[in-house]
């Protein structure tokens, strides 16, 4: 028996932003909610849309489109807020559409060295090849840490 083939299988929640597909580790996903009333918070970073009250918990909600410097959000019936948890921090991410839960083997995930992207490479864990398309896998820890700890970073050009 060949022991070199113990590739780990992980599950990812795949969602769309524009025409691109992204994935986040399903173990980090708390819940997926329909878009709801978001209360604006003064002086919050430009990509934080505000907070939502989810069963008594106040959770900041960010626009991944704005964070990734894409065109602004356009809410539709497909728009969702994916609530993720990293360490003790919960953050909601507004996405255009949640597509599926995907199982990917570590052998089909490639790292992103030398990869050109509009997104800060710190936010990308790798890319998964699925049939005929690519899913960009996000590094949620770096994304959330940058959101909570460096709110002034990535300010849009004035």
CA distance 6 to 88: 31
- Find the range with the poorest average confidence among 45-49, 67-71, 102-106, 115-119: 115-119
CA distance 126 to 111: 4
Pair 56, 112: CB distance under 8 Å: no
DSSP at 39: B
Q: What's the confidence (pLDDT) of residue 110?
A: 83
Domain boundaries, the chain: 7-149
Chain mean pLDDT for the chain: 86
Q: What separation in angstroms does the CA of 141 have from each of 48, 89, 90?
A: 17, 10, 11
Domain 7-149 has CATH 2.40.50.180: yes
User: Is the pLDDT assigned to residue 147 strictly greater than 50?
Assistant: yes
Pair 93, 22: CB distance under 8 Å: no
Q: What's the confidence (pLDDT) of residue 5?
A: 55
């Amino acid at each position: 028996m060949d022991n070199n083939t113990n590739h780990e299988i992980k599950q990812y929640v795949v969602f769309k932003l524009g025409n691109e597909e992204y994935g986040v580790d399903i173990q980090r996903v708390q819940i997926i909610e329909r878009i709801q009333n978001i209360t604006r918070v003064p002086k919050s970073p430009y990509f934080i849309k505000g907070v939502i009250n989810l069963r008594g918990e106040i959770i900041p909600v960010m626009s991944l489109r704005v964070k990734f410097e894409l065109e602004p959000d356009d809410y539709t019936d497909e728009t969702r807020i994916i609530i993720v948890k990293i360490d003790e921090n919960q953050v909601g991410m507004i996405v255009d559409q949640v597509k599926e839960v995907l199982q990917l083997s570590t052998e089909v995930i490639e790292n992103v060295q030398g990869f050109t992207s509009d997104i800060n490479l710190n936010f990308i864990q790798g890319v998964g090849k699925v049939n005929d398309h690519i899913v960009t896998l996000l590094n949620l820890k770096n994304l959330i840490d940058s959101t909570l700890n460096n709110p002034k970073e990535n300010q849009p050009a004035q």
